């Protein structure tokens, strides 16, 4: 039939997203902004709608050309083939429920949150669950807001997709295709495993940075000269302390059991160094550091 033929032509000629190439990013910040830039460059998106809690961010994102249009959530969702949610993980749950109440089974929604279990649990019985793809592209910087969005983000990093089996195969394939085109390596796991691993390779690094910043700032009260000295090693271990509390506090809270587990282990490891120094146990100190050197085989 001619209308079917029209539809087919449109699908294939206009966007690999399977519609007119209209996407909505919910949240116009570091992740969603970088994602939108990449989707336009790769030809997935013809038109990007931004949904933002604050007018200032929406305006900035328009100015920067990251979005073509700012709209309220409901209106944006209705016009979109693909909706990408990248906001603090506590806000994600109600917003995602709202979105999934609005979509048809021609639309796809994905999130980019750093925790997956609580969200997947909250959405598991939603009638549109099969149109939702739970993802965590493991890229970021310590900066936030639309100004923080960059070109060529995501390249070479891992992207976790959770509970693939609960999503329509075609919807998963579309999202996989997007992330692959962005240069990411796809990894599949259940939401619980994701959260446990994320605590180790991401969340604890943020906690140690925040705590290290506080350690040094505590001492700054006495010692101003410290900061003339702050060099590369310091900057490297502390830079994540610049990260947004609005983004990270909900992550730590949603993943608190895993984060507590790794934090306890980390404090125990630090206490070993402390004991070595207290007891002047040079041999064990060397052993601890030689063991730490094994990280070379993991880091490139």
Partners of 133 in beta bridges: 110
Query: Is 158 one of the binding residues for a second copy (CB under 8 A)?
Result: yes
How far from the centroid of its chain's Cα atoms is residue 86's Cα? 7
In the complex, the smallest distance separating the C-beta of residue 90 from a second copy, rounded to whole angstroms, is: 9
Query: Is 94 one of the binding residues for a second copy (CB under 8 A)?
Result: no
Query: Is 155 one of the binding residues for a second copy (CB under 8 A)?
Result: no
DSSP 225-269: THHHH--HHHHHHHGGGGS-HHHHHHHHHHTHHHHHHHHHHHHHH
Residues 280-299 interacting with a second copy (rule: CB under 8 A): 280, 282, 285-286, 288-296, 298-299
Q: Cα–Cα distances in Å, from 29 out to 37, 141, 224? A: 11, 11, 34
Secondary structure letter of residue 177 according to DSSP: H
Please count the residues of this chain forming the interface with a second copy, following the rule CB under 8 A.
Answer: 91
In the complex, the smallest distance separating the C-beta of residue 136 from a second copy, rounded to whole angstroms, is: 9
In the complex, the smallest distance separating the C-beta of residue 178 from a second copy, rounded to whole angstroms, is: 19
**Residue (72 or 231) nearer to a second copy, CB:** 231
Site string for a second copy, 99-128 (x = CB under 8 A): ------------------------------
In the complex, the smallest distance separating the C-beta of residue 165 from a second copy, rounded to whole angstroms, is: 18
**Residue (149 or 241) nearer to a second copy, CB:** 241
Site string for a second copy, 231-270 (x = CB under 8 A): xxxxxxxxxxxxx-x--xx--xx--x--xx-xxxxxx-xx
Q: Cβ neighbours of residue 205 under 8 Å, at least 6 residues apart?
A: 240
Secondary structure letter of residue 103 according to DSSP: -
Residues 24-53 interacting with a second copy (rule: CB under 8 A): none
Tokens in use for 14? 């206009």
Query: Is 206 one of the binding residues for a second copy (CB under 8 A)?
Result: yes
Contacting residue, 44, 117, 179, 210, with a second copy by CB under 8 A: 210
Contact 147, 60 (CB under 8 A): yes
Query: Is 219 one of the binding residues for a second copy (CB under 8 A)?
Result: yes
DSSP 51-81: E-SSHHHHHHHHHTTS-SEE--HHHHHHH-S
Tokens in use for 286? 């060397």
In the complex, the smallest distance separating the C-beta of residue 43 from a second copy, rounded to whole angstroms, is: 26
Contact 7, 68 (CB under 8 A): no
Stretch that binds a second copy, among 10-18, 92-100, 165-173, 229-237 (CB under 8 A): 229-237
Query: Is 151 one of the binding residues for a second copy (CB under 8 A)?
Result: no
Query: Is 139 one of the binding residues for a second copy (CB under 8 A)?
Result: yes
Q: Three-state SS for 48?
A: strand
């Amino acid at each position: 039939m001619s209308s079917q033929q029209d539809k087919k032509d449109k699908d294939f000629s206009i966007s690999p997203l399977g519609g007119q190439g209209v996407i909505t990013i919910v949240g116009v910040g570091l992740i969603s902004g970088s994602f939108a830039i990449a989707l336009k460059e790769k030809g997935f998106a013809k038109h990007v709608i931004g949904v933002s809690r604050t007018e200032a961010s929406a305006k900035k994102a328009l100015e920067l050309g990251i979005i073509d249009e700012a709209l309220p959530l409901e209106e944006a969702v209705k016009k979109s083939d693909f909706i990408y949610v990248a906001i603090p993980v506590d806000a994600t749950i109600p917003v995602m429920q709202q979105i999934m109440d609005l979509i048809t089974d021609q639309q796809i929604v994905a999130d980019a949150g750093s925790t997956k279990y609580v969200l997947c649990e909250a959405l598991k019985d939603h009638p549109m669950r099969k149109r939702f793809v739970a993802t965590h592209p493991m890229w970021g910087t310590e900066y936030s807001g639309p100004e923080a969005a960059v070109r060529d983000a995501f390249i070479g990093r891992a992207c976790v997709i959770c509970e693939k089996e609960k999503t329509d195969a075609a919807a998963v394939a579309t999202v996989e295709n997007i992330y692959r085109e962005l240069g990411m390596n796809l990894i599949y796991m259940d939401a619980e495993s994701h959260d446990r691993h994320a605590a180790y390779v991401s969340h604890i690094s943020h906690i140690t940075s925040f705590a290290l910043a506080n350690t040094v700032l505590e001492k700054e009260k006495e010692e101003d000269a410290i900061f003339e000295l702050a060099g590369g090693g310091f900057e490297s271990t502390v830079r994540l302390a610049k990260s947004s509390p609005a983004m990270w506090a909900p992550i730590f809270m949603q993943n608190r059991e895993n984060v507590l587990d790794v934090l306890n282990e980390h404090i125990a490891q630090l206490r070993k160094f402390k004991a070595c120094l207290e007891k002047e146990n040079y041999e064990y100190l060397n052993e601890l550091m030689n063991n730490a050197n094994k990280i070379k085989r993991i880091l490139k």
